[in-house]
């Protein structure tokens, strides 16, 4: 049993993680085709009839679903996929749905990481050593019904949640918002945390806090800047909109060194908790931090020493895309966690040949003592 400890306001938080995982999805046994992979943190959704849907999104997105978490099966239908548009202003290249928000009448709002890669579109970016990566990123909104999760992008004037401070050009290496956590609710607002790749900004790359009123979960998103919430960047305005440039506060005072993948309310301690994967000195793994208010965060602490799949050439199993899900949470999007919950991870099976598409979705039981 693995143990870790963090301290917030002088109170120790002791966490233990089971030594062996449960396999939720096996690439070898359950894949629909060679691209059926968990490529994002797992997000769970409880339908009104009590059944469960789970998404660990790939750009060709499929859903696991069942009557419970112990009965999840892969649906081989591709329920959402971008059009791979060569126009960066269309915001419709490839996208990964990474946040699920319940709306009225069984509808679901999805917030997705949209990736425009100039290298995939002829004539935009030259390939070769030393050339720009042409990686242009944004957060976009989609909608589906909870029956089949067939997401559709919202109309262009309502699609963009947050973009880069500059328009795409062929010298862009990486710009915009790459990924986001799940969305949680507190009082009259919803929140998520997103990672910006805009390293040219003074604060560099890092995690940013977003907020929207419950009454406007599509166009009401703002990001925290100097402690207040301001409109996020919009480099491609449409239909009378104005371009917006803005920067956001980086969370964690330099201690939150990886992309926050999951955000939950730890009910047993009345704290918010986030997790991410990173390499810190000689200790790599899944780290976590806690906060009373989503703004001020404890020092990072190691949750489990699971190596992420970068920074090494050793052939073995690696883990990434951590996500916290408490199967007993009363929330339809599982935003709360009790004294026991599960840490979901993508396991990269690179023991003999690296890299391959062989990835499993697994979960470890976590206990807060």
pLDDT tens per residue across span 250-267: 999 888 989 999 999 999
| Threshold 0.75, pTM exceeds | yes
Instruction: Give pLDDT, residue 128.
Output: 64
Handedness of CA 89, 100, 178, 117 (dihedral sign): negative
Gap between the Cα atoms of 340 and 347, Å rounded:
21
Gap between the Cα atoms of 183 and 98, Å rounded:
9
3-state secondary structure of 8: strand
**Tens of pLDDT, residues 212-236:** 999 999 999 999 999 999 999 999 9
For the chain, the average pLDDT equals 91
Counting residues of the chain whose pLDDT is more than 70, the rounded percentage is 94
3-state secondary structure of 109: strand
User: What are the C-alpha distances in Å from 67 to residues 6, 71, 99, 151?
Assistant: 36, 6, 21, 21
Instruction: Give pLDDT, residue 124.
Output: 84
Instruction: Give pLDDT, residue 354.
Output: 78
Q: Extract the tokens encoding 313.
A: 């050439």
202 pLDDT higher than 70 = no
**Tens of pLDDT, residues 116-144:** 998 888 878 877 665 557 899 999 999 99
Gap between the Cα atoms of 95 and 112, Å rounded:
6
């Amino acid at each position: 049993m693995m143990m870790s400890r963090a301290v917030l306001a002088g109170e120790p938080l002791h966490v233990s993680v089971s030594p062996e995982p449960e396999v939720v999805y096996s690439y070898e046994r359950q894949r629909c085709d060679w691209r059926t992979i968990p490529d994002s943190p797992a997000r769970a959704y409880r339908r009104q009839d009590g059944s469960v849907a789970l998404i660990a999104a790939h750009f060709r997105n499929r859903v696991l679903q069942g009557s419970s978490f112990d009965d999840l099966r892969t649906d081989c239908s591709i329920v959402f996929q971008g059009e791979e548009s060569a126009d960066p202003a269309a915001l419709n290249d490839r996208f990964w749905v990474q946040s699920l928000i319940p709306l009225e009448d069984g509808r679901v709002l999805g917030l997705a990481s949209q990736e425009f890669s100039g290298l995939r579109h002829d004539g935009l970016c030259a390939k070769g050593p030393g050339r720009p990566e042409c990686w242009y990123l944004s957060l976009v909104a989609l909608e589906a019904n909870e029956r089949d999760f067939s997401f559709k992008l919202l109309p262009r004037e309502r699609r963009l949640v947050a973009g880069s401070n500059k328009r795409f050009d062929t010298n862009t290496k990486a710009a915009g918002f790459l990924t986001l956590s799940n969305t949680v609710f507190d009082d009259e607002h919803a929140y998520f945390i997103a990672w910006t790749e805009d390293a040219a900004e003074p604060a560099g790359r890092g995690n940013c806090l977003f907020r929207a009123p419950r009454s406007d979960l599509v166009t009401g998103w703002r990001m925290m800047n100097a402690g207040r919430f301001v409109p996020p960047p919009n480099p491609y305005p449409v239909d009378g909109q104005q371009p917006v440039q803005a920067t956001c506060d980086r969370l964690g005072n330099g201690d939150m060194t990886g992309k926050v993948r999951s955000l939950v309310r730890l009910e047993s301690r009345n704290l918010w908790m986030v997790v991410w994967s990173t390499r810190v000195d000689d200790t790599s793994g899944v780290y976590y931090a806690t906060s009373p208010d989503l703004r001020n965060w404890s020092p990072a602490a190691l949750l489990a020493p699971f190596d992420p799949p970068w920074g090494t050439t050793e052939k073995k199993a690696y883990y990434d895309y951590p996500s916290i899900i408490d199967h007993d949470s009363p929330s339809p999007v599982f935003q709360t966690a009790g004294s026991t919950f599960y840490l979901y991870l993508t396991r990269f099976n690179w023991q003999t040949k690296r890299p391959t598409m062989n990835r499993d979705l697994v979960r470890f039981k976590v206990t807060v003592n």
